[in-house]
């Protein structure tokens, strides 16, 4: 039972355009969400997070949007750069087990120069 779903295994975007990566979750107890980026042969690198008390969090080119009623979050990257090409994982945790991150299966982003 996949509690965190990333339904798009891959995405290609032109350099300079917006990349939108989506994530859906099923557990209404989740209250903290994160995005990690992963390059080949490296561990996941933390990108940005959002608490359920917010609906948007921004950090430079990266913005995460949370829609609690739809149990959906998205990561926007503007403008996209070739160095953003990586696998992006969405993760969630619940207040009862804040340390236990539940990850999606990832979306491979390719930014074309």
Partner 1 sequence: GAGVSQTPSNKVTEKGKYVELRCDPISGHTALYWYRQSLGQGPEFLIYFQGTGAADDSGLPNDRFFAVRPEGSVSTLKIQRTERGDSAVYLCASSLGVQETQYFGPGTRLLVL
Residues that bind partner 1 (CB under 8 A): 4, 34, 36, 41-46, 49, 89, 91, 97-106
Closest CB 108 distance from partner 1, rounded Å: 11
Closest CB 79 distance from partner 1, rounded Å: 25
Closest CB 13 distance from partner 1, rounded Å: 21
Closest CB 113 distance from partner 1, rounded Å: 27
Please give the C-alpha separations between residue 64 and each of 20, 24, 33, 59, in angstroms, as whole numbers. 10, 13, 9, 9
Q: Which is nearer to partner 1, 43 or 113 (CB)?
A: 43
Q: Which is nearer to partner 1, 15 or 32 (CB)?
A: 32
Q: Which two tokens stand for residue 34?
A: 């994160």
Q: Which helix (H) or strand (E) holds 6?
A: none
Q: Which is nearer to partner 1, 43 or 83 (CB)?
A: 43
Q: Which is nearer to partner 1, 50 or 77 (CB)?
A: 50
Exposure b/e, 51-89, CB count within 10 A at least 16 = b? ebeeeeeeeeebbbbbeeeebebbbbbeebeeebbbbbb
Distance CA 24, CA 52 (A): 14
């Amino acid at each position: 039972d996949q509690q965190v779903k990333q339904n798009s295994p891959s995405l290609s975007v032109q350099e300079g355009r917006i990349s939108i990566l989506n994530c859906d979750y099923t557990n209404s107890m989740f209250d903290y969400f994160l995005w990690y980026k992963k390059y080949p042969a490296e561990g996941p690198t933390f990108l940005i997070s959002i608490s359920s008390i917010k609906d948007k969090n921004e950090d430079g080119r990266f913005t995460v949007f949370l829609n609690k009623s739809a149990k959906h979050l998205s990561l926007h990257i503007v403008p996209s750069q070739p160095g953003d090409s990586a696998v992006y994982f969405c993760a969630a945790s619940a207040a009862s087990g804040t340390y236990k991150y539940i990850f999606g299966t990832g979306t491979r982003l390719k930014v074309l120069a």
